């Protein structure tokens, strides 16, 4: 979802059940990250994730320099309104050229704190907080450990014009993990266009469930919001499909695209049946 000063990214999944099925808790998680003005806001829905005790807070804000400080009122997991502060305490540039920002949050009038290291183009890579259990609180956290290959690639995305007549190129540099450039491209489409004369093509709330490539056929599986949240109209439906297919067929190894919804073939987006692979829409590309 995007507006002139607002952009939202959503992540969902599950936490491993370490109780071997004995727990009755909900292990699903939903996270959204909203860029609003000069702030990056995290909103979460979960029961068991080791993360903030606040369901919504500002993770970081500009200027991205040591000493940047802010305060806000947020609700904890019990619904109690708390006053907290946030501050960038450290900025470090890694060998990759990406910067890491250490951000410390403190609850006013209490010892409670949360500390994160946020890496450019990746997100939170280290998290630590004070666990207020019993008479002796203790600190614990986690860090991201991965041998994955991370690169920055220039990718051509296609977005429709405001009149829904053609799709137009938008070249963007994207972060690609483990050579998953096609996945990065689709996530770029979901994030939306940066151009004010173009419009986003993927319905709000859509999540990419999986993407696979075999023998020139790229199979893309979207969440149900892809069909349920589409505004409709034959032109808009065609713009959505041509945006996806033309973006993916920019890669020489992809010849056709099959779109699934929740793993099922044959869903409809408006009046268009998604029962067969789609070829590139050359006639809908603006020049």
Gap between the Cα atoms of 250 and 254, Å rounded: 8
Per residue in 231-241, pLDDT (tens digit) is 878 898 999 99
Per residue in 34-69, pLDDT (tens digit) is 988 999 999 988 777 778 889 999 999 999 999 999
Place of tokens 């993770």: 59
Instruction: Write down the domain spans for the chain.
Output: 2-143, 150-284
Reference 13, options 49, 50, 42, 41; nearest CA is: 49
Coil/strand/helix, residue 200? coil
Quote the pTM value.
0.56
In SS3 terms, 53-100 reads as: CECEEEEEECCCCCCCEEEEEEEECCCCEEEEEEEEEEEEECCCCCEE
pLDDT category, 3, cuts 50, 70, 90? very low
């Amino acid at each position: 979802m995007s507006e002139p000063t607002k952009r939202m990214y959503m992540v969902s999944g599950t936490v491993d059940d370490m109780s071997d099925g004995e727990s009755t808790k909900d292990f699903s998680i939903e996270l959204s990250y909203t860029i609003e003005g000069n702030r990056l806001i995290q909103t979460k829905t979960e029961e068991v994730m080791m993360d903030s005790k606040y369901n919504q807070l500002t993770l970081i804000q500009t200027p991205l320099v040591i000493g940047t400080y802010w305060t806000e009122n947020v609700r904890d997991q019990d619904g109690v309104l708390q006053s907290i502060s946030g501050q960038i305490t450290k900025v470090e540039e890694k060998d990759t050229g990406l910067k890491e920002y250490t951000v410390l949050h403190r609850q006013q009038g209490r010892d409670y704190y949360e500390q994160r290291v946020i890496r450019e183009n990746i997100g939170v890579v280290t998290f630590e907080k004070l666990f207020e259990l019993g008479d002796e609180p203790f600190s614990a956290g986690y860090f991201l450990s991965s041998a994955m290959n991370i690169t920055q690639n220039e990718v051509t995305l296609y977005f429709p014009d405001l009149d829904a007549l053609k799709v137009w190129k938008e070249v963007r540099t994207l972060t690609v993990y483990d050579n998953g450039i096609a996945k990065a491209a689709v996530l770029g489409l979901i994030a939306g266009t940066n151009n004010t004369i173009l419009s986003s093509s993927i319905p709000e709330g859509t999540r990419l469930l999986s993407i696979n490539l075999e023998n020139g056929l790229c199979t893309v599986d979207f969440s149900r919001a892809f069909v349920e949240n589409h505004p409709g109209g034959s032109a808009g439906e065609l713009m959505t499909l041509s945006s996806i297919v033309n973006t993916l067929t920019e890669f020489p190894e992809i010849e056709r695209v099959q779109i699934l919804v929740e793993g099922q073939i044959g869903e409809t987006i408006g009046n268009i049946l998604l029962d067969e692979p789609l070829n590139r829409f050359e006639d809908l590309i603006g020049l």
